[in-house]
């Protein structure tokens, strides 16, 4: 049985152990790099966004009629000779399958890969009932021999090296196996598994698709084992989640079009098997296959009716949300999941395996949006992860003290800002003045936080400087309002001052309303939705978006939260709908404003050709969908832009994430900084003050010569006529 950490202390120990596994990280890293390239190639020439929308819409439609689709499937499949069951719970499904085995005199079972069977812990149940079960997917067989669960939904043994597998096979076969010869190992597996297929009384499979119109199962696989499992033995049992029901073949084919491409970057899988009813079977006394199809509810019908979480049931189990997750890449699926792995695992664990198994793992999300961007059915995974965390806090009725404090402070802007100013005064003995960083970390931080220097709070926040520096432009070309966010305002006011210079030199009037506060994203990250909503209302009222041509942000995270997060948070506040729509339409990031609105040209800048690398913040490239403009702006400014590996991979900051999981944050940062140093750049540029904080702190800690700057600073520094 899989053991998942149920408290943070145990979870931290697991994380430490996972981070100590060098092979795991290398294997996941190599796979992630290769996956990106092959996925992009596989989707070449396909309008992926349109296809995603179509599939998501089709799945949502099917989810509203699961019961009738089930009845339709049952009628079709039974007319063709199958027997169809509906199991309300995992235990029911296991008992139904065991009974089928007993009723048919089954002793030995072969099984092909099925996440649904992992969900019900079917093997454990059948073995307790006295059946001999052999997994026949190579990866599943390996983890069965090791008594482990899968560490990836598509590649269950990705955490193991060939040497580990070779040693295992040597032990199992009692014959030495060459630890480097993968072909030989595959042959060993084939030799061991063939007799199991031939002797098996029953085959158990899952199914990727269940077509209601015809009562047909669709199984997609890369190994021939699924076909052998479903054809050779006289009894076949398919265990299928109700969420696999689709109305017709067209809907099924759309899913097949994306599944292998998104899962592993393959254009096609090796096998697509369609099964309609009981076919001829030489091993059966009647000459006909005994086919049972067991549909599993296990909470799916309730989930399908949930207005927030139903979209989780769109999942087609491609595993891509693990492939791109920076946290998964560092700790692997045994640490970032229970039975289901990765981003979707953090959500489904709560519904299928309970809050105790979800409690710790659900907090391990950076909110980097990588999973959401790669999901072929548009599930808003980071949002649902936060909602699961909120549900767990609610279920347990006890919030961490930091949540209570944060909520009280954030709701009261004046108190919040007074405390920040007080902290700025109190920090003075700790500040290294020339560098603007803290010499010593405050005692609340442990050794694990020592991977970056922390910036000091500004002596004078931007809001206190603003009345003196506010420019007055006669006949401005545009009137814009800056939403600063906490880091710009209280830590890095120089970024906003650079913006003031740039805008003034381009005849733009900027305003900075004092009523604005934190955007509220930290509250969302801590699942304090009510606080986040109150803060959103305060900011919308303070910004008065209707008075300006644009609402400018220097912080990609604030911008993405203002644009997308506020729409969700304020959906039930019709009185805010007008302001919200205007905010949504007028909000723009710094680089897009410079490139698309001001249309700056090389003549505006010095063209000093300093070599710069670029880090693309998660909430800019994925949250706001801005990718071209910052790079174009750097070139226009006359800087020598040096592309860097994995520019769009998270820096590991994630706001409070880097405080809660410094062990993982530091590893993600280390890799990012290595890539940047490999470019030979003198300056690292990015468009998010949070990323600046993380990247600069990391560079500082490794005594690197590379300076880290917000893009507004480097662009302003290159102005010809400041
Ligand atoms: S948001 Fe990022 S860190 Fe969180 S689960 Fe998705 S990919 Fe992983
Ligand atoms: S949530 Fe999306 S990306 Fe993750 S496994 Fe499911 S379909 Fe694939």
User: Does 473 lie in the same domain as 607?
Assistant: no
Give Cα 720 to chain centroid, integer Å. Answer: 42
- The CB of 319 under 6 Å from ligand 2? The reply is yes
| Spatial distance between the Cα atoms of 528 and 523, rounded to a whole number of angstroms | 5
- pLDDT at position 444, please? 62
Q: Name the residue with tokens 């020439």.
A: 45
| Ligand 2 pocket mutation pick from 118, 373, 379 by most atoms within 8 angstroms of CB | 379
User: Does 591 lie in the same domain as 500?
Assistant: yes
User: Does 519 lie in the same domain as 585?
Assistant: yes
User: Does 502 lie in the same domain as 461?
Assistant: yes
Is 422 part of a structural domain of the chain? no
Q: Name the residue with tokens 């290595």.
A: 674
User: Does 642 lie in the same domain as 539?
Assistant: no
| Ligand 2 pocket mutation pick from 48, 260, 263, 319 by most atoms within 8 angstroms of CB | 319
Q: Which atom of ligand 1 is nearest to the CA of 343?
A: 5
pTM: 0.94
Say if strands 707-710 and 478-483 run parallel, antiparallel, or are unpaired.
unpaired
Where in the sequence is the domain holding 441, given as residue range(s)? 428-596
Question: Would you say 113 and 289 are in contact if contact means Cβ atoms under 8 Å apart?
Answer: no
Instruction: Give the SS3 label for residue 275.
Output: strand
Q: Name the residue with tokens 């149920």.
A: 6
Residue nearest to atom 8 of ligand 1 (CA): 325
Q: Which atom of ligand 2 is nearest to the CA of 262?
A: 8
- pLDDT at position 454, please? 87
Is 635 part of a structural domain of the chain? yes
> How many domains does the chain fold into?
2
Is 556 part of a structural domain of the chain? yes
User: Does 530 lie in the same domain as 623?
Assistant: no
| Spatial distance between the Cα atoms of 386 and 365, rounded to a whole number of angstroms | 9
User: Does 514 lie in the same domain as 452?
Assistant: yes
Is 455 part of a structural domain of the chain? yes
Is 83 part of a structural domain of the chain? no
Is 656 part of a structural domain of the chain? yes
Residue nearest to atom 7 of ligand 2 (CA): 315
Closest CA to 592 of 618, 561, 623, 625: 625
The encoded tokens of residue 633 equal: 């702006």
User: Does 670 lie in the same domain as 576?
Assistant: no
User: Does 567 lie in the same domain as 463?
Assistant: yes
- pLDDT at position 448, please? 80
User: Does 639 lie in the same domain as 521?
Assistant: no
Torsion angle (degrees, nearest 10) of CA 176, 179, 184, 187: 70
| Spatial distance between the Cα atoms of 432 and 451, rounded to a whole number of angstroms | 17
Per DSSP, 340 falls in state S
Domain boundary among 548, 579, 596: 596
- The CB of 382 under 6 Å from ligand 1? The reply is yes
Which residues of 326-442 form beta strands (DSSP E)?
431-432, 437-438
Q: Residue 567 maps to which CATH number?
A: 3.40.50
- Phi/psi at 4 (nearest 5 deg)? -110, 140
- The CB of 317 under 6 Å from ligand 2? The reply is yes
Is 496 part of a structural domain of the chain? yes
Instruction: Walk along the chain (722 residues) in steps of 10 and give the mean pLDDT of each run.
Output: 88 95 92 94 96 97 97 98 98 98 98 97 97 96 94 93 92 88 90 94 98 97 93 97 98 96 92 94 92 98 97 97 97 95 97 96 96 98 96 90 88 90 84 75 71 90 96 96 96 96 96 96 90 96 97 97 94 92 97 98 90 97 97 96 96 93 97 97 97 96 96 95 70
Give the helix, strand, coil percentages of the chain, each rounded to 5. Answer: 55, 15, 35
| Spatial distance between the Cα atoms of 208 and 247, rounded to a whole number of angstroms | 14
User: Does 592 lie in the same domain as 451?
Assistant: yes
User: Does 588 lie in the same domain as 453?
Assistant: yes
| Spatial distance between the Cα atoms of 173 and 11, rounded to a whole number of angstroms | 35
What is the b/e burial string over 442-476, where b = at least 16 CB atoms within 10 angstroms of the residue's CB?
eeeeeeebebbbbbbbbeebbbbbbeeeeeeeeeb
Question: Would you say 53 and 256 are in contact if contact means Cβ atoms under 8 Å apart?
Answer: no
Question: Would you say 143 and 119 are in contact if contact means Cβ atoms under 8 Å apart?
Answer: no
Q: Which ligand is nearest to the CA of 371?
A: 1
Is 220 part of a structural domain of the chain? no
- pLDDT at position 426, please? 85
Q: Residue 646 maps to which CATH number?
A: 3.40.50.1860
């Amino acid at each position: 049985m899989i053991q998942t950490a149920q408290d943070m202390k145990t979870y931290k120990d697991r994380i430490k152990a996972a981070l100590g596994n060098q092979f795991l990280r290398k294997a996941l890293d190599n796979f992630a790099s290769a996956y990106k390239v092959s996925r992009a190639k596989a989707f070449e020439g396909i309008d992926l966004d349109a296809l995603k929308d179509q599939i998501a819409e089709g799945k949502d439609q099917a989810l509203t009629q699961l019961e009738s689709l089930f009845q339709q499937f049952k009628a079709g499949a039974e007319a063709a000779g199958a027997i169809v069951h509906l199991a309300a719970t995992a235990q029911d499904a296991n008992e139904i399958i065991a009974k089928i085995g007993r009723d048919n005199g089954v002793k030995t079972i072969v099984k092909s890969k099925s996440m649904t069977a992992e969900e019900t812990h079917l093997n454990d149940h059948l073995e307790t009932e006295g059946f001999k079960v052999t997994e026949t997917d190579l990866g599943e067989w390996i983890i069965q021999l090791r008594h482990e669960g899968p560490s990836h939904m598509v590649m269950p043994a990705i955490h193991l090296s060939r040497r580990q597998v070779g040693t295992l096979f040597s032990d199992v076969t009692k014959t030495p196996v060459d630890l480097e010869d993968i072909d030989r190992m595959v042959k060993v597996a084939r030799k061991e598994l063939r007799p199991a297929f031939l002797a098996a009384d029953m085959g158990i499979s899952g199914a990727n698709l269940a077509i209601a119109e015809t009562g047909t199962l669709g199984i997609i696989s890369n190994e021939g084992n699924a076909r052998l499992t479903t054809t050779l033995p006289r009894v076949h049992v398919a265990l299928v989640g109700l969420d696999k029901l689709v109305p017709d073949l067209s809907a099924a084919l759309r899913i097949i079009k994306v599944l292998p491409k998104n899962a592993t970057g393959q254009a096609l899988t090796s096998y697509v098997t369609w099964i309609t009813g009981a076919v001829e079977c030489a091993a059966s006394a009647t000459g006909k296959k005994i086919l049972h199809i067991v549909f599993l509810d296990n909470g799916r019908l309730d989930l399908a009716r949930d207005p927030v979480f139903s979209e989780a049931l769109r999942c087609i189990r491609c595993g891509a949300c693990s492939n791109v997750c920076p946290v998964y890449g560092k700790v692997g699926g045994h640490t970032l999941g229970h039975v289901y792995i990765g981003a979707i695992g953090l959500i489904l664990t709560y519904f299928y395996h309970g809050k105790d198994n979800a409690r710790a793992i659900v907090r391990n999300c950076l909110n980097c949006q990588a999973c959401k961007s790669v999901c072929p059915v548009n599930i808003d995974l980071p949002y649902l992860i936060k909602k699961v965390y909120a549900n767990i806090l609610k279920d347990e009725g006890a919030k961490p003290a930091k949540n209570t404090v944060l909520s009280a402070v954030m709701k009261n802007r004046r108190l919040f800002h007074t405390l920040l100013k007080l902290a700025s005064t109190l920090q003075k003995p700790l500040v290294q003045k020339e560098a603007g960083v803290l010499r010593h970390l405050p005692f609340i931080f442990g050794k694990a936080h020592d991977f970056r220097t922390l910036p000091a709070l500004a002596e004078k926040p931007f809001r206190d400087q603003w009345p003196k520096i506010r420019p007055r432009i006669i006949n401005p070309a545009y009137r814009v309002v800056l939403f600063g966010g906490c880091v710009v305002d209280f830590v890095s006011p120089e970024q906003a001052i650079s913006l003031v210079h740039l805008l003034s030199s381009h005849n733009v009037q900027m305003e900075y309303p004092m009523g604005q506060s934190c955007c509220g994203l930290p509250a969302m990250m801590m699942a304090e939705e009510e606080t986040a909503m109150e803060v959103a209302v305060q900011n919308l009222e303070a910004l008065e978006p209707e008075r300006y041509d644009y609402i400018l942000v220097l912080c990609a995270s604030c911008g993405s939260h203002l644009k997308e997060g506020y729409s969700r948070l304020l959906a039930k506040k019709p009185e805010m709908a007008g302001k919200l729509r205007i905010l949504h339409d007028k909000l723009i990031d710094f680089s897009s404003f410079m490139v698309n609105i001001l249309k700056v040209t090389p003549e505006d800048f010095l063209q000093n050709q300093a070599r710069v690398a670029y880090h693309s913040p998660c909430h800019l490239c994925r949250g706001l969908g801005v990718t071209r403009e910052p790079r174009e702006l750097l070139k226009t400014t006359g800087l020598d832009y040096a592309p860097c590996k994995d520019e769009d991979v998270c820096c590991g900051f994630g706001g409070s994430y880097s405080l809660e999981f410094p062990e993982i944050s530091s590893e993600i940062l280390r890799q990012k900084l290595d890539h940047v140093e490999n470019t030979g750049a003198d300056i690292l540029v990015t468009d998010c003050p949070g990323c600046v904080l993380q990247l600069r702190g990391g560079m500082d800690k490794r005594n690197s010569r590379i300076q880290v700057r917000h893009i507004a600073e480097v662009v302003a520094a290159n102005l010809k006529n400041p």
